[in-house]
Structure 1
Amino acid sequence: MNFCQACAVRNRAICGDLETGEIDALNRIGRRRKLDPGEQLLWEGDDAVLVANVIDGVLKLSSQTADGKEQILGLAYPSDFLGRPFGQSTPYGVEALSEAHVCVFQRSDFDSFARSHPRLEHKLLERTLTELDRTRRWMVLLGRMNAEQKLAAFLLELSERMAPATCSTMPGVADVVELPLSRQQIADVLGLTIETVSRQFTRMRNEGVIDLPSRREVTILRRELLEDRAA
């Protein structure tokens, strides 16, 4: 079955600019894979055997420090590309935080396909530059923002990146966000303590900016105020 034809993120993924015949050829070298929460897709430092495109779910990118501690480098959302094409080793580990589906390719097959399809190579370059911009913004978030700004910016990013392709209230955003991380993981991502994260959640809820129906769900009540908090 040509799973590319029914792919929910096809128009946003790196294969979005390919023509039908090219999509069919790409489909022949890829396969769908389901990941359970906690299942590892890539291991830091291993040979770069696989690359993948996220179809749904959220995954974390992480690295191990010299003393063996995990450092979360970022999150991968639907339509994000994972792995290192044209590279020899995997620069980070990738683990599913929620149930996820990915489109997986052998790196050597994908490299050969990309070399012979300039539109895909161009899309890879665009995606790489976008990730570079996102990394720079992340550095500002971690290095310059206070705790309130960090959490507000994080919630806005989740709202934008996890929104469906069409949204009835506001295209491109979601007002109800399911958190893919625990409070401790959010603290690790933002460089805060779990106590600080919990206090900021409670403060925003008490001030009517968000609601917290459960520990894994956030409702954005006043987006403009959240944007102000994110500076």
Structure 2
Amino acid sequence: MDLPATDLPANFCAACAVRNRAICADLDSDELKVLNAIGRRRRLDPGEQLLWEGDEAVLVANVVEGVLKLSNQLADGREQILGLVYPSDFLGRPFGETTPYGVEALTDAMVCVFRRSDFDRFAREHPRLEHKLLERTLAELDRTRRWMLLLGRMSAEQKLASFLLEMSERLAPAGCHDSTESPDQFTLPLSRQQIADVLGLTIETVSRQMTRMKSDGLIELPSRRQIVIRDRAKLAELAE
């Protein structure tokens, strides 16, 4: 399978906004050049599919911009959302034969894609990358366990509080203390309907819970997508 060509600079790894947080963070300049040579950037529109559950594992990818969802199709045709991925997260199954989940862009997104065979070979030849993959795998296992708890055991207000706290942390710009935004002020990349779908709630429940959190002084809602966390400690207490 040929990767789509782009009009990117010759060494896009060097200018990557998430390189210091991505799996390639520990690679030196020579290793980055090799990785750059086997990768391509790809833009995704909201709703565009990157990977399909059960297909041959042809591609792996690293998220550069945007938010994507991981999902499985249940036997009755319903979708089970497994989680969300953010900039610097890794997607796909290295050293695997099939893709374990579907991946769809929820927002405008950019990913760095690699043929799995090329990436597997590179990882075998560079132990630091293999070590980083192991770290990411264990972190993903922890996130999956938290997600199962979120969907299966928490109340609606706990789900939304947990979701807002995670979004604030994952969307915080690098060096946010020097930025006009902070972890307590961010713009949601999802609509309220998308949030409801992700959390297994109705849009009415999401809106009602947000209004209640605003009335209780936990958050402010300058617009439908802007969130300002006013009392992080109480929001965290609510999530627990």
Instruction: Identify the TM-score tier after normalising by the shorter chain.
Output: over 0.9
| Alignment match, 2:27 | 18
2:112 is equivalent to residue 103 of structure 1? yes
SS at match of 1:168: helix
Unaligned 5+ residue runs, structure 2?
A: 1-9
Superposition TM-score, scaled by structure 1 size: 0.94
Q: Where in structure 2 are the equivalents of 1:1-231 lying within 5 Å?
A: 1-168=10-177, 174-231=183-240
Unaligned 5+ residue runs, structure 1?
A: none
CA RMSD of aligned residues (A): 1.6
Find the aligned partners of 1:32 and 1:201 in 2 and give their Cα distance. 36
SS at match of 2:235: helix
SS at match of 2:61: strand
Find the aligned partners of 2:148 and 2:77 in 1 and give their Cα distance. 22
Find the aligned partners of 1:200 and 1:67 in 2 and give their Cα distance. 30
Find the aligned partners of 1:100 and 1:193 in 2 and give their Cα distance. 25
| Alignment match, 2:6 | none
- Superimposed CA distance per residue, residues 64-105 of structure 1 (whole angstroms, 9 cap, x where no aligned partner): 111212221110100000011111111111111111111100
How far the C-alpha of 1:43 sits from its partner, in A, is: 1.1
How far the C-alpha of 1:134 sits from its partner, in A, is: 0.9
Find the aligned partners of 1:125 and 1:112 in 2 and give their Cα distance. 16
Moved segments of 4+, more than 4 Å: none
- Superimposed CA distance per residue, residues 170-196 of structure 1 (whole angstroms, 9 cap, x where no aligned partner): 9x9622222222223222322323222
- Superimposed CA distance per residue, residues 6-34 of structure 1 (whole angstroms, 9 cap, x where no aligned partner): 11111110010111111110000001111
Find the aligned partners of 2:30 and 2:182 in 1 and give their Cα distance. 33
How many residues are treated as equivalent by the alignment? 230
Q: Percent identity?
A: 74
SS at match of 1:87: coil
- Superimposed CA distance per residue, residues 40-62 of structure 1 (whole angstroms, 9 cap, x where no aligned partner): 11111111110000011111111
SS at match of 2:103: strand
Superposition TM-score, scaled by structure 2 size: 0.91
Amino acid at match of 2:85: A
The answer as to whether partners of 1:160 and 1:173 remain within 8 angstroms in 2 is no
The answer as to whether partners of 2:196 and 2:202 remain within 8 angstroms in 1 is yes
Find the aligned partners of 2:90 and 2:129 in 1 and give their Cα distance. 12
Find the aligned partners of 1:218 and 1:63 in 2 and give their Cα distance. 29
- Superimposed CA distance per residue, residues 156-179 of structure 1 (whole angstroms, 9 cap, x where no aligned partner): 000001111111279x96222222
Find the aligned partners of 1:127 and 1:49 in 2 and give their Cα distance. 20
How far the C-alpha of 1:140 sits from its partner, in A, is: 1.9
SS at match of 2:176: coil
Find the aligned partners of 1:44 and 1:79 in 2 and give their Cα distance. 21
How far the C-alpha of 1:114 sits from its partner, in A, is: 0.5
Find the aligned partners of 2:55 and 2:224 in 1 and give their Cα distance. 35
Which segment is superposed worse, 28-37 or 191-200? 191-200
